[in-house]
């Protein structure tokens, strides 16, 4: 996804842009665009690509550095940490179960859906 060309990304208002930048970088680590010990794009490249303030990009990258997903090589840039993919997967699985699945089940309760119906529907959708 992130290849240095200008991108038409629409940021939503539901979370801060710096968090969305971090999520985009994580997505590209998960899908193999950025690999272990590989350099990611520079702050200037991200800023130009997304047409956003460099400080916003720095803040998003900073989140990933603090989480041990990226590391800095002095004077060279930011690189993908050895266990970055695993850390992202653990974090996102936790978020999936705590937030998304919890919200889904709360809505299912409001609609009176039985657990068996939900499970059957999930199985059906997985086959498609």
Q: What is the pTM of this model?
A: 0.82
Q: Does residue 10 lie within any of the structural domains?
A: no
**Alpha helix (H) ranges present in 40-99?**
43-50, 54-66, 84-95
**Shared-domain flag, residues 68 and 96:** no
Looking at residue 54, which CATH number applies to its domain? 1.10.10.10
Task: Show which of 66, 83, 100 is a domain's final residue.
Answer: 83
**Shared-domain flag, residues 36 and 66:** yes
Query: Domain containing 117: what range?
Result: 86-126
Per-residue pLDDT tens digits for 22-62: 999 999 999 999 999 999 999 999 999 999 999 999 999 99
**Alpha-carbon gap, residue 29 to 80, rounded angstroms:** 8
**Shared-domain flag, residues 106 and 79:** no
Per-residue pLDDT tens digits for 56-103: 999 999 999 999 999 999 999 999 999 999 999 999 999 999 999 999
Could you give the percent of the chain with pLDDT greater than 90? 87
**Shared-domain flag, residues 79 and 90:** no
| CA neighbor of 19 nearest in space, from 50, 58, 60, 62 | 60
């Amino acid at each position: 996804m992130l290849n240095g060309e200008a991108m038409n990304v629409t940021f939503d208002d539901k979370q801060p842009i710096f968090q969305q930048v971090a999520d985009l970088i994580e997505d590209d680590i998960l899908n193999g665009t950025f690999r272990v010990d590989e350099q990611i794009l520079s702050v200037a490249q991200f800023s130009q690509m997304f047409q956003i303030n460099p400080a916003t990009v720095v803040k998003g990258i900073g989140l990933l550095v603090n989480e041990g997903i990226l590391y800095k090589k002095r004077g060279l840039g930011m690189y993908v940490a050895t266990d970055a993919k695993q850390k992202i997967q653990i974090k996102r699985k936790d978020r999936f179960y705590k937030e998304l699945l919890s919200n889904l089940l709360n809505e299912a309760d409001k609609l009176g859906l039985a657990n068996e119906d939900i499970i059957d529907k999930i199985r059906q959708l997985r086959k498609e």
